[in-house]
Structure 1
Amino acid sequence: MDDKKIVRAWIAYDWANSAFATTIMAAVMPIYFISVAGGTDGSWSFTQTAAAIVVALLSPLLGAIADHSGKKVLFLRVFTVIGAAASVGLAFVGPGDMWLASIIVVIGMVGFGAGNTFYDALLNDITSPEQREKVSSLGYAMGYLGGGLLLAVNLGMILGWESLGLPDKTAASQISFVSVGIWWFVFSLPLFKKIKDPQSTNKSRIGEHLKIGVQRLGETFSRLKKYPELLKFMVAYWFFFDGINTIIVMAASYGTTIGIEETDLITALLITQFIGFPATMLFGKLADRLGSKKMLYSSLVTYLIIVLLGYFMTSSLHFYLLACLVGLVQGGSQATSRAIFSKLIPPGKTAEFNGFLSFTSRFFSFGGPLVFGLVKLISDSSRIALLAVAFFFLMGILLLTFVNLAKGEKEAVQP
């Protein structure tokens, strides 16, 4: 069933769009937003929130439309172009252009987030159920490698701008934004060339697709009761996804609060990326051999250990060690979750259910940062606030014990 060229083309897209996640979402743009565009950490947080809301509202609707029209690759192509163009557009953000930066970042994150909805949905189309853990893990692994490689190049350019003959760090950062757009678009071409939407006799217009998409979105809610194992997995996923997302979002600010230098924070991010590449591939192989649920358990327990060790962290060396632990499990936990979910989705509903998961997980993703902030406010301690994040991993592990994957896979293919 699996065509190796098609699978490689699908994996290449993770290599392509992960450059946006590392350079623009995590490392270069947040610093540029504050130091050049004149923003603050609060306005950056608002920008991230706005983008998350837009993606959350769009994803399930677009997924339902894509399933009805059979145009998942077309939608992926459109949002890839939007995201890549926005990345290039950030090069035009200059001193004091906070609002322009915010608008373009939101557009780019919509391209990234909505595009991932259709990218994840293609996993069911390009590989067999038996190979999904392996292929999904390879995708995340190549994403870590590609995103980390371009980030390393961009950071080298920013730090060595004088030796490259550039006028200043601002110009180097602007070039890095352009490099993300080019990287993302060029390495997406294999997917667009090798993977095609099936020929469809559905000649409905956009308005009709939209109407049917809204109807099918409503049906998704009522349909979930027919797939109890899928629903139970989704609820568990909301909790541990929130925990993982909180670790990603709060790591840099937490490190800064306890005195870790900015250079060490960025270096730790690179360590996470490059450890994540081989670790995610190994994680996928172990999931095939030992079972995806067991490996997911192990990754969530590791996150609990990371939270506990983070509570006692006092030096940059400790931060590096925690970055290594995160790299060992972050990609694997995400890839395994994606593969498990793909097996629990009924045929013909992949984009719709992936969109629904994207919507609900993003909707609930405010919980971790909110708990962190409230505990910090009450206790006046970032360490205790970090410890509170353990609740989300504990709940995820507990709820996961009630999920019967074998039963869920049978429910997915029932008439």
Structure 2
Amino acid sequence: MKSEKTLFGLTKKERSWVLYDVGNSAFVMLSTALIPIYFASLAEPGSSVVVAWGYAETVAALILALLMPIFGSLADLKGNKKKFFIGTMGTGVVMCAALGIPTTALPFLIVYVVASIMLNGSMVFYDAFLVDAAEDGRYDEVSSHGYAWGYVGSCIPFVACLAVVLGGSAVGIDARTGMQIAFVITALWWLAFSIPLIRDVHQTHFKPKSAQVFKDTFRGLVKTLKNIVRDRRLRYFMLAFFFYIDGVHTIIKMSTSYGTELGIDSTQLVLALLVTQIVAFPSAIAYGRLAIRFGTRRMLLIAIFAYFCITLFAAFFLRTAVEFWVLAVCVGLFQGGIQALSRSEFTKIVPPENEGEYYGFFDIFGKYAAVMGTLLVSVFTQLSGNASFGVLSIAILFALGFVLLWKMPAA
């Protein structure tokens, strides 16, 4: 029996699931826009912000990629998914608030890495909850709503943070104190919008618990990995995802640092990224609807090709604030769509009772790709002394992702 539809055609469970994107996106936005700039103020004079930030993101992604398959498998057991979600989300919220404590670069990076690991860890369990929250056949639409409302919702606390950081001097608040307040605002927003999911969405697909939990967990991981290798459609999708999401994550994580390296004013960078969020809201919802009409894979291919062109533009033409604004708008048109449809497409092709376990491997492919992307940018920038070569190095990954997805067998 279908649940009664509520606001924007979403059921209560679907809406509660979507709201977590609104909550965690506040930290994602802050870490994309203001945190790298704040880190630059803590770093030693003359050091490369792009290199240091890239290595920090690489460490966070690598640790997460190693841990999540195990945690995802354990979360598939009856009653575990929400516990793991609350644990990672709660720790992430505390670490986000604690970012204002360190006064030097290295301790700050350590706290940030822990916060980043916990954020992305909670997303593994959140993504796995999609099958529990959404009605069958609605994964594309609900997933797209998640990213869409995440983009627009993150703007509210971010504007509040900007007001405190940039306008705080008018009431006697210096920039450092303003950032400390911004970290607390973001943490509280993240926590508040986690509550609906905890309250309304429950694990309905699960594996039964056994006396040999850890033995069965590792046995299940081996079985899942074998299933991924044997299933041609799943194998092609995972490999394609590995390559193209690399570029997406790298652009998200490194855009502000890259702009700073080019000498673009920090206010221009932040406002341009705010425009990205605004543009991404209708674009993500539109992508979900277009996927229903034209097919998820076709819309993913369009987004990958667009990102390939965006990467070339960033490497060869991005030099001024105006060009950064153009880049921000272009990214906003495709960012939500490629992320939302990747999540919903994966949900369609994996067993619902093993969502957490499969999403653990999904996260390995996504986060290890992020390791490779940020590492490529850092290494090529360090070797060449030119951040543009680092950006250019990831264009080939979009090309590989496009080809693999194009060749993925039909259902």
1:180 equivalenced with 2:186 (yes/no): yes
| Letter of the structure 1 residue corresponding to residue 238 of structure 2 | M
Question: What is residue 294 of structure 2 aligned with on the other side?
Answer: 290
1:104-143 equivalences in 2 (<5 Å): 104-143=111-150
- SS, match of residue 407 in structure 2: coil
Question: What is residue 269 of structure 1 aligned with on the other side?
Answer: 273
- SS, match of residue 92 in structure 1: coil
* Contact 1:129/1:343 (<8 A) preserved: no
Unaligned runs of 5+ in 1: 407-415
Greater Cα offset, 153-162 or 83-92: 83-92
Question: What is residue 203 of structure 2 aligned with on the other side?
Answer: 197
| Letter of the structure 2 residue corresponding to residue 159 of structure 1 | L
Q: TM-score normalized by structure 2?
A: 0.90
Q: 1:327 to 1:67 in 2, by over 3 A?
A: same
| Letter of the structure 2 residue corresponding to residue 333 of structure 1 | I
* Contact 1:2/1:126 (<8 A) preserved: no
* Residue deviations 1:239-296 (CA, integer Å, cap 9, x gap): 1011212222332233234332222111111111111111111111111111111111
Which of 108, 118, 121 is residue 101 of structure 1 equivalent to? Answer: 108
- SS, match of residue 161 in structure 1: helix
Question: What is residue 256 of structure 2 aligned with on the other side?
Answer: 252
Q: 1:405 to 1:13 in 2, by over 3 A?
A: farther
1:139-154 equivalences in 2 (<5 Å): 139-154=146-161
- SS, match of residue 260 in structure 1: coil
| Letter of the structure 2 residue corresponding to residue 236 of structure 1 | A
* Contact 2:132/2:202 (<8 A) preserved: no
1:279 equivalenced with 2:283 (yes/no): yes
Question: What is residue 220 of structure 2 aligned with on the other side?
Answer: 216
Question: What is residue 403 of structure 1 aligned with on the other side?
Answer: 408
Question: What is residue 80 of structure 2 aligned with on the other side?
Answer: 71
Question: What is residue 8 of structure 2 aligned with on the other side?
Answer: none
1:254-403 equivalences in 2 (<5 Å): 254-310=258-314, 311-373=316-378, 375-376=380-381, 381-403=386-408
1:243 equivalenced with 2:243 (yes/no): no
* Contact 2:129/2:203 (<8 A) preserved: no
* Contact 2:148/2:281 (<8 A) preserved: yes
| Letter of the structure 2 residue corresponding to residue 261 of structure 1 | D
Query: How far did residue 357 of structure 1 move?
Result: 1.1
Q: Distance in 2 between matches of 1:199 and 1:139?
A: 21
* Residue deviations 1:69-126 (CA, integer Å, cap 9, x gap): 4421221111111111111222333x33x44323322221122011000000111122
* Contact 1:79/1:114 (<8 A) preserved: yes
Query: How far did residue 174 of structure 1 move?
Result: 0.4
| Letter of the structure 2 residue corresponding to residue 71 of structure 1 | N
Report percent identity of matched pairs: 34
Q: 1:305 to 1:64 in 2, by over 3 A?
A: same
- Paired residues in the alignment total 400
Q: TM-score normalized by structure 1?
A: 0.89
- SS, match of residue 203 in structure 2: coil
Q: Distance in 1 between matches of 2:151 and 2:2?
A: 23
1:19-38 equivalences in 2 (<5 Å): 19-23=26-30, 25-36=31-42
Q: 1:58 to 1:139 in 2, by over 3 A?
A: same
Q: 1:31 to 1:379 in 2, by over 3 A?
A: closer
Query: How far did residue 324 of structure 1 move?
Result: 0.2
* Contact 1:65/1:212 (<8 A) preserved: no
Q: Distance in 2 between matches of 1:256 and 1:162?
A: 23
* Contact 1:66/1:75 (<8 A) preserved: yes
* Contact 2:236/2:407 (<8 A) preserved: yes
| Letter of the structure 2 residue corresponding to residue 352 of structure 1 | E
Q: 1:366 to 1:51 in 2, by over 3 A?
A: closer
* Contact 2:81/2:125 (<8 A) preserved: yes
1:170 equivalenced with 2:179 (yes/no): no
Q: 1:50 to 1:370 in 2, by over 3 A?
A: closer
| Letter of the structure 1 residue corresponding to residue 129 of structure 2 | L
Unaligned runs of 5+ in 2: 4-10
Q: 1:301 to 1:214 in 2, by over 3 A?
A: same
Query: How far did residue 305 of structure 1 move?
Result: 1.9
Q: 1:99 to 1:252 in 2, by over 3 A?
A: closer
Query: How far did residue 38 of structure 1 move?
Result: 6.2
Which of 85, 99, 104 is residue 90 of structure 1 equivalent to? Answer: 99
| Letter of the structure 2 residue corresponding to residue 180 of structure 1 | T
Q: Distance in 2 between matches of 1:391 and 1:200?
A: 39
1:12 equivalenced with 2:16 (yes/no): no
Q: Distance in 1 between matches of 2:347 and 2:226?
A: 19
Q: Distance in 2 between matches of 1:385 and 1:102?
A: 22
Q: Distance in 1 between matches of 2:69 and 2:280?
A: 29
Query: How far did residue 200 of structure 1 move?
Result: 8.3
Q: Distance in 1 between matches of 2:160 and 2:239?
A: 39
* Residue deviations 1:318-359 (CA, integer Å, cap 9, x gap): 110111000000011000111111111123111100111101
Q: Distance in 1 between matches of 2:177 and 2:294?
A: 49
Q: Distance in 1 between matches of 2:405 and 2:276?
A: 26
Root-mean-square deviation (CA), in Å?
2.4
Question: What is residue 412 of structure 1 aligned with on the other side?
Answer: none
